[in-house]
Structure 1
Amino acid sequence: ITILRMLMVCMCCSTGQTSIKTKHALSCVTVRPKVAFSAGIGPPQRILGPFNAETNLIYSKVLTNIGGAYNSHTGVFTAPVRGIYYIRFTGSEYGNTSNNIGVNLYKNEQILMHLGENGSDGLAKHISSGVTLELEAGDVVYTRLPEHYVLWGGPGFRTSFSGFLIFPM
């Protein structure tokens, strides 16, 4: 109990670190935010699209959402802190040879990447990519299904969206 009474938590200058002060020393310990999510489309098992307009993808099957920054109702990840993040997304399609598959990745309202594959080259198709992004607190990252494209959703987690904080800045 005596040791507990001697501890005092305060903030170090402007470093964003937490310090612990005892009667013997003052030391700073880095407190790192924890942010990681992984979610997939489905179940039920189904083909999404084709739609006549680009459509937001909502990954409702959440496997991980440490820090609560991914919204399973909107499909949007919101960066809780400024930092470097790794974002990964995959897409698949099964049983449709007449439509292309694809995913567009957005940061805020700007398209960053398009990933797609031709629809006539076989019954099962898979696409995946990842990107490292510098995000400000409040920036949003999400994916959209391009107009006239299709994706597969189901319990196999073939179409997914994941990300994590590499380090805060």
Structure 2
Amino acid sequence: MEEKLAALETRLKASEQKIEELKIREKTIVAFSASAEYGGAHGPFDADTTLVYNTPIANFSDAYNKFTGVFVAPVAGVYHFVIFFQAGGQYAANLTLFKNGEPVVMTTDEAASYDSADTGGNAAVLELKKGDQLYVRMAKGSHVLAATQHTTFSGFLIRQM
């Protein structure tokens, strides 16, 4: 009888531990949204440039760095990311979302003298490991409108793994 009781206590402790782990996972909120705010046109630059979205709108878990423009996954999981821009017609806009130095998705607009403003965007669902880094780069010669939340970068954890 003592053996059965000991076995039941072991199972109960394991179940309680699993429940606590699930509670912690459930409470993990990873989400951010940030805007590039530089008072007007940002770029063009003479080289590819990481676009720093310097004005956080939300930054749960502090995973997005407004000084470097880099999101670092705080937990492994499935995430959703969105990039969006507005640009004038004078210069091209060419933005690419990178994961650990590899391009994932891009959005572009060609320069045109006949239009005043263009918009574009893209999105991706990615499986990330803890520590993976995501950021947006503007191609050489690109520009965006960086005023009043026209150009944004957002992401959130869909499910922890």
Query: What TM-score range do you get, normalising by the shorter chain?
Result: 0.7 to 0.9
Q: Which residue identity lines up with residue 31 of structure 1 in the other structure?
A: R
Segment drifting more, 28-37 vs 71-80: 28-37
Mapped to 1, the partners of 2:34 and 2:97 lie a distance apart of 15
Of residues 64, 68, 81, the one that matches 1:70 is 64
**Under a length normalisation based on structure 1, what TM-score does the superposition of the two structures give?**
0.80
Kindly indicate which of the two structures has a greater share of residues assigned to helix.
2
User: Structure 1, residues 18-53: CA drift from partner, whole Å, max 9, x if none?
Assistant: 17xxxxxxxx646321100000011x4221111111
- Looking at structure 2, the residues matched to 29 and 116 of structure 1 have their Cα atoms a distance apart, in angstroms, of 42
Instruction: Give 1:35's aligned residue.
Output: 30
User: 1:18 pairs with 13, 17, 20, which one?
Assistant: 20
User: 1:11 Cα shift?
Assistant: 6.8
CA deviations over 1:52-88 (Å, ceiling 9, x no partner):
1100110111010011101001010000111000000
* Residue 99 of structure 2 corresponds to residue 107 of structure 1: yes
- Cα gap change, 1:34/1:124 in structure 2, threshold over 3 Å: closer, same or farther? same
2:72 is the alignment partner of 1:86: no
- Measured in 2, the distance between the counterparts of 1:108 and 1:123 equals 34
Structure 1 unmatched ranges of 5 or more? 1-9, 20-27
User: Percent sequence identity over matched residues?
Assistant: 30
Distance 2:14 2:30 in 1: 22
Are the counterparts in 1 of residues 73 and 128 from structure 2 also a CA contact under 8 Å?
Answer: yes
Residues 18, 158 of structure 1: alpha-carbon distance in 2 compared, 3 angstrom cutoff: same
Partner of 1:124: 117
**1:165 alignment partner in structure 2:** 157
> Alpha carbons of 1:11 and 1:153: their partners in 2 closer, same or farther (altered >3 Å)?
farther
Name the SS of the counterpart of 2:25 in structure 1: coil
Q: Distance in 2 between matches of 1:11 and 1:58?
A: 45
Q: CA deviation at 1:100?
A: 0.8
CA RMSD of aligned residues (A): 2.0
Q: Aligned equivalents of 2:57 and 2:20: distance in 1?
A: 31
Query: Aligned residue for 1:134?
Result: 127
- What SS is found at the alignment partner of 2:96? strand
> 1:149 deviation in Å?
1.0
Structure 1 or 2: more strand by fraction: 1
Letter of the 1:68 partner, please give it: D
- Over 3 Å counting, the alpha-carbon distance change for 1:64 and 1:147 in structure 2 is same
State the Cα distance separating 1:114 from its structure 2 match: 2.1
Q: TM-score, normalised to structure 2's length?
A: 0.84
